Amino acid sequence: MNVLFACPHCSATVRSEAPPQTRPFVCPHCALPVPTLSEPLDQGQLNKCLICPSTDLFVRKDFPQRLGVAIVAVGILASSVAWGFQRPLLTYAILFATALLDVVLYFVVPNALMCYRCGAQYRDVPGIDSHGAFDLETHERHRQHQARLKQAQSAAHLAKANSEL
């Protein structure tokens, strides 16, 4: 299993084996330790994020979204060109091939596990099927929590700045 995450200290993107080969794991950018990453798995399963550590994780296709959009865009473009040349059969063939490619990729591309809270991405996760798919409500809860946290932080900064005046 490996994990891609934002370092909690310096926010740089870090990739590591999980569990890491060197313990305690230190961020290659800021050299500060990320102790949570070295914590053992719960019965060999990843039940909580090794970074933040939230228990809200979701499964998604490990597929770059931009590539998916690009395939559809190229399909639409090519089919409109075919349509412009009055080749309806070719138009449908292109649209069909685009849809087919999407379906094939869906089955070929492996699943990855994502953390709602910190956005850490886990690959080659044991027992990944025990996790649910993306849930908008959970996502919203974390987003609002983050927003409140930010608000509280800026309020604290403001209060500090005021007291220093």
**Binding residues for Zn ion, per CB under 5 A?**
7, 9-10, 27, 29-30, 49, 51-52, 54, 115, 117-118, 120
Q: Pick between residue 50 and residue 94 the one whose CB is nearest to Zn ion.
A: 50
Q: Which residue has the tokens 């910190």?
A: 118
Which among 125, 111, 116, 108 is positioned nearest to 3, based on CA atoms?
Answer: 125
Q: Pick between residue 59 and residue 94 the one whose CB is nearest to Zn ion.
A: 59
Q: Which amino acid is at 32?
A: L
Q: Pick between residue 87 and residue 139 the one whose CB is nearest to Zn ion.
A: 139
Which among 106, 151, 122, 146 is positioned nearest to 57, based on CA atoms?
Answer: 122
Cα(142)–Cα(53) distance, integer angstroms: 13
| Least distance CB 31 / Zn ion (angstroms) | 7
| Least distance CB 57 / Zn ion (angstroms) | 8
| Least distance CB 26 / Zn ion (angstroms) | 8
